[in-house]
Amino acid sequence: MWQLEDTTYRDLRENSLDQWLDEMAAHEDLQVRGGVRLARDYIAYLKKENQRLQEQNQLTQQYLKKTIQEKRAR
């Protein structure tokens, strides 16, 4: 049976990070506030890159399965 992935820990971690960044956005120091946008952009980039790598990995796995099946068929 397939079960849904438990994302509770990941959700808590993301919510905690978002809350911390919100608090830093209200900080009195301009450099800290400016870093919040940079941090959010970097996190978005990392999520996008992670998704791309997962898709690439799936494609590689499909190719390898196909190659193995062709070798076994010979």
Q: pLDDT tens digit string along 20-57?
A: 999 999 989 888 888 999 999 999 999 999 999 999 99
* Model pLDDT for residues 56-66, shown as the tens digit of each residue: 999 999 999 99
Q: How many domains are contained in the chain? A: 1
| 3-state DSSP assignment of residue 4 | coil
Residue at 62 is within a domain: yes
Residue 50 inside a domain? The answer is yes
- Distance, in Å, from the CA atom of 48 to the CA atom of 50, rounded to the nearest integer, reads 5
Is residue 1 assigned to a domain? no
Does 2 map to a domain?
no
One-letter amino acid for residue 55 of the chain: E
Per-residue pLDDT at 65: 93
- 25 C-beta neighbours (distance < 10 Å), count: 15
